[in-house]
């Protein structure tokens, strides 16, 4: 039985496999023994619910997920970890390891092949360099996922879970709010990892919504509007939208009037329904933008 949160065990295992940690791939492994059981318990995996993990590393969280989930599929990019995982997870009969880049992988195919008709949650200690693009991929591809429970840098946790209308919010918070109900579950200090990163982390949970909270005529365009609004967040909404979407100020002013939004507001003051109202009014101008 491996104690994968014990530094001595990790060092022995890695040295036996001739493995050197890659900073570039965000390889900070969890060594605080209470964190993985807590993530596994709170992610929603269960006897009837499978788990998808991104970046199993040496398998410390994977093992905990295997105890509670019907089945675990874990995607690891670093080929050198495959023999390590084969060893540490040799007793887990409900785990499949896939080798590849989670950002590039066809996840619909993964779901069809490994989770047909199953209920699925995502649970992972994410490599920090892929946090936003990976979460956006999981949300935008509308995979049949019930919830996403991930460890991210503390700053990112704040930004991802910020409600619209507060200073920390940004385009990514708007997208998260559109697809999910986000919540910060608990903080994890940098000393909980081997090697310790410079900053602390937090575990967040995104409960995927069945329906978006606002009506949008064109979802892709709504996100274009949101991105343009936050691109220069200190500018007024009138100036950011005109510059970001290449539409005349007069047209944007008319649209803001129809959507009942002040032209001098800033992106961080607007609600999701105000963004949706602006996008719905501007949508007919979309062809002119291209």
State the nearest-atom distance from the C-beta of 270 to ligand SAM, in Å.
33
Nearer to ligand SAM by Cβ, of 55 and 244: the residue is 55
Q: Is 156 in the site for ligand SAM (CB under 6 A)?
A: no
What is the C-alpha to C-alpha distance for residues 120 and 258, in angstroms, rounded to an integer? 41
4 phi/psi in degrees, rounded to 5: -75, 0
Q: How far is the CB of 197 from ligand SAM (least distance, A)?
A: 9
Tell which positions 25-84 bind ligand SAM, by CB under 6 A.
25-30, 54-57, 60-61, 75-78, 81
Residues between 181 and 200 that touch ligand SAM (CB under 6 A)? none
Which of 72, 89, 102, 122 is the binder for ligand SAM (CB under 6 A)? 102
| C-alpha distances in Å from residue 18, one per residue of 21, 57, 83, 142, 197 | 10, 15, 11, 39, 22
Q: What are the tokens at 236?
A: 């007024």
Query: Cβ of residue 194: shortest distance to ligand SAM, in angstroms?
Result: 8
Q: Which residue is nearest to ligand SAM (CB)?
A: 55
> 76 is written with which tokens?
């690891």
What DSSP designation does 46 have?
B
Of 97-105, 139-147, 205-213, 248-256, the window that binds ligand SAM (rule: CB under 6 A) is 97-105
Close Cβ partners of 179 (under 8 Å, ≥ 6 residues apart)? 139, 140, 206, 208, 209, 212
C-alpha 148/C-alpha 121 separation (Å) is 6
CB of 4 to ligand SAM, least distance (A): 8
Interacting residues toward ligand SAM by CB under 6 A? 25-30, 54-57, 60-61, 75-78, 81, 101-103, 125, 127, 130
């Amino acid at each position: 039985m491996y104690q994968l949160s014990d530094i001595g065990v990790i060092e022995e295992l890695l040295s036996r496999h001739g493995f050197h940690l890659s900073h570039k791939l965000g390889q900070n492994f969890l060594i605080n023994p209470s964190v993985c059981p807590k993530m596994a318990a709170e992610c929603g995996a269960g006897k009837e619910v499978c788990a998808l993990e991104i970046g199993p590393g040496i398998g410390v969280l994977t093992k905990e997920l295997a105890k509670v989930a019907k089945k675990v599929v874990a995607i690891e990019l670093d080929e050198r970890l495959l023999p390590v995982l084969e060893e540490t997870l040799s007793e887990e009969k409900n785990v499949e390891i896939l080798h590849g880049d989670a950002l590039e992988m066809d996840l619909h195919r993964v779901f069809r092949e490994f989770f047909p008709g199953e209920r699925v949650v995502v649970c992972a200690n994410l490599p920090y360099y892929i946090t936003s693009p990976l979460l956006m991929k999981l949300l935008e591809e509308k995979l049949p996922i019930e919830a996403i429970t991930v460890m991210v840098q503390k700053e990112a946790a704040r930004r991802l879970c910020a409600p619209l209308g507060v200073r920390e919010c940004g385009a990514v918070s708007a997208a998260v709010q559109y697809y999910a109900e986000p919540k910060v579950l608990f903080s994890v200090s940098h000393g909980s990892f081997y090697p310790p990163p410079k900053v602390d982390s937090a575990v967040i949970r995104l409960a995927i919504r069945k329906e978006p909270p606002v009506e949008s005529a064109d979802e892709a365009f709504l996100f274009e509007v949101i991105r343009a609004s936050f691109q220069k967040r200190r500018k007024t909404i009138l100036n950011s939208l005109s510059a970001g979407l290449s539409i005349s100020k007069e047209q944007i002013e008319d649209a803001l009037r129809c959507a009942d939004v002040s032209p001098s507001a800033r992106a961080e003051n607007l609600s999701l329904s105000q963004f949706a109202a602006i996008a719905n009014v501007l949508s007919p101008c979309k062809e002119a933008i291209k």
